[in-house]
Amino acid sequence: MFPHYIAYNLLFADLLHKFVYIQDAPYIIFIILIPFLIWQIGKHFFEGKKALIAPVIFILSPWFWYEAFAQSFYIFLFFLTLSIVYGLLTIHSGRKIPGIVIVSTASLAAMYTSSLFLILVPFLFLILVVTKITPIKTLKYSLIIIAILILPLVFFIRTNKTALKSSINQEIPVFSDPGLLNTVNRYQGAAMEDGFRKLARISENKYIFFSEYFANKYLNQLMPLTIFTPQYKLLSFSFSPPIFLGFLIPFAYGFYKLMHEKKIRNIIIISTILLVPSILSNQAVSLNRLILFSPVVIYIISQGLILLYGQRKERLAKIFFLLTVALVLFQIIVTAIDIKTREGRRFVAYNAKNYQMVEP
């Protein structure tokens, strides 16, 4: 395993002035359970063996392995997010009690450990109810359990607001970055010198700039460049792509087809809530955080692959399918050789200082 990131102190521990972080061993459980959950969730969208395509693509992706091996805190939150979705689908399929237990436990675990998820989880439930994707009736018992069991955390927060603020600053650093405000001041200063004070106030104020900045970040998360190429480096040093480039073909096709179905289209749009953690980071794209959105991409790829394979008698579909397979196989070989020959040296040369070496 890579020497892991500087251990992340969990929210409740911060509030209690303790130091509690996730040990190495649970990551092995997450490595096993995450593909399993992706398979289980996929069973609600794909029939039979087709549901296995998504976990296979996921297991093939460097994104998962790099994050898991580095023991990123977001792998833990990713596991909890998948558990919430799995719980909701379980309730939906009629198995209410196990579903309620899973949704409540995973939501509470996420909210107790991350200040970002303390905001995000209720927001997610709200959106699901407002958009009528999940009726309030389905969520009723889970919400009651969460509301009761979150009270101790609320109490801790009331007694230690400073710790919460510090945790929020750490998890949502985007607002504490002075870069954008400096840009506003620079633009306004230049315009004022030339006598355009009023125009600058209308068009170069912090509200407009923050809106543009977030629009840019939002679009950035969704670009093929981000997901299928090493434009933003995994763990800030790798040249491995998050998901192999060849999968871009079934992704594009699957996305095009799925956008024709209103309900699926709405689900995809709502799922972009999972981009929020990455948007709120202080980087243009944080792949550590964006992994929360990766299952959506992978299900779209699965759909595209299934459709292409289904239409393999048509010449164009056959070409695209074979091109996908060939490109993925080729890139697996190239990536494996690159990892073996250069990745270690790259890590040492460019990013080792960002990691905490684990005691032997």
Partner 1 sequence: MKKFSINLIITILLITLLGGFLRFYKITVNPPSLTGDEISFGYSAYSVLKTGSDEHGKFLPLTFESVGDYKNPLPAYLMVPSIKLFGLTDFAVRFPNALIGTMTIPIFFLFLLDIFKKKKIAIVGSFFLAISGWHIFYSRFAYEAIIASFFVLLGTWFFIKMLDGKKIWAIPSAIFFTLTMYTAFAPRLFIPLFVFALLIFNFKKVIKDWKITLLFITTCVLLGLPLVYTTLFQGAGTRLQMVLLSNDIEFSRYILLKYFNSFTDLPILFFFWIKRYLSYLDPGFLFFNGLEATLPSPIGLGIFYVFEIPFFIAGIISLIKNKIPHKGIFILWALVGIFPDSLTNNQKHTGRLLHLFPILILITTLGAIELFNMFINLKNKYLKFGIISASGLIVIAVLTHAFLIYNSDFPRDKGESFDEGWREVTYYIKDHQDEYTEIVIDPRRGVAAPDMISNPFLYVLFYLKYDPATYQTEEKIMSQPSGGPYYKFGKYTFRYINWQTDNDKKGVLFIGSPWSFPREGLKEGELLDKIYISNGYPAFYMVTPK
Q: Give yes or no for a contact between 106 and 83, defined as CB atoms under 8 angstroms apart.
A: yes
Residue in 345, 353, 357, 360 binding partner 1, rule: CB under 8 A: 345
Q: Please tell me what DSSP assigns to residue 44.
A: T
Per CB under 8 A, the segment of 67-75, 137-145, 160-168, 218-226 that binds partner 1 is 218-226
Nearest to 128 by CA among 168, 76, 87, 79: 87
Rounded to a whole number of angstroms, the minimum distance from the CB of residue 360 to partner 1 is 28
What string marks each residue from 221 to 260 as x (binds partner 1 by CB under 8 A) or -?
--xxx--xxxx-------x-x---x----------x----
Candidate residues 9, 125, 204, 278; the one interacting with partner 1 per rule CB under 8 A:
204
Nearest approach, Cβ of residue 188 and partner 1 (Å)? 9
Length of the chain: 360
Whether the CB-CB separation of 285 and 49 falls below 8 Å is answered with no
Minimum CB separation of residue 338 from partner 1 in Å reads: 6
CB 42 within 8 A of CB 302: yes
Out of 5, 39, 156, 196, which residue is the one contacting partner 1 (CB under 8 A)? 196
Distance CA 302, CA 250 (A): 7
Q: Per CB under 8 A, which region of 32-40, 216-224, 269-277, 293-301 contacts partner 1?
A: 216-224
The answer to whether 349 contacts partner 1 (rule: CB under 8 A) is yes
Strands (E), the chain: none
Of residues 272-331, those binding partner 1 (CB under 8 A): 284, 330-331
Total residues binding partner 1 (CB under 8 A): 44
User: Of the two residues 40 and 351, which places its CB atom closer to partner 1 in the complex?
Assistant: 351
Residue 328 Cβ vs partner 1, minimum distance, rounded to whole Å: 12
Nearer of residues 259 and 358 to partner 1, judged by Cβ: 259
Residue type, 5: Y
Helices 25-42/294-310 angle, 10° precision: 40
3-state secondary structure of 356: coil
Whose Cβ is closer to partner 1: residue 56's or residue 184's? 184
For residue 303, give Cα distances in angstroms to 42, 51, 251, 308.
Answer: 10, 10, 8, 9
The stretches of 150-205 forming alpha helices (DSSP H) are 151-159, 161-171, 179-193, 197-203
- Would you state the structure tokens that stand for residue 282, as one six-digit string? 């202080």
Considering only the stretches 23-31, 50-58, 217-225, 286-294, report the one whose residues sit in contact with partner 1 under the rule CB under 8 A. 217-225
What does the alpha-carbon distance between residue 291 and residue 301 come to, in Å, rounded to a whole number? 15
| DSSP states of 211-245 | HHHHHHHHHHHT-HHHHHSTTS-GGGT--S-SS-G
Q: Which of 213, 255, 309, 355 binds partner 1 (CB under 8 A)?
A: 213
| Closer CB to partner 1, 2 or 338, in the complex | 338
Interface pick for partner 1 out of 119, 127, 145, 200 (rule CB under 8 A): 200
Q: Which residues bind partner 1 (CB under 8 A)?
A: 179-180, 183, 186-187, 190-191, 193-194, 196, 199-200, 202-204, 208-209, 212-213, 215-216, 219-220, 223-225, 228-231, 239, 241, 245, 256, 284, 330-331, 334, 338, 342, 345-346, 349-350
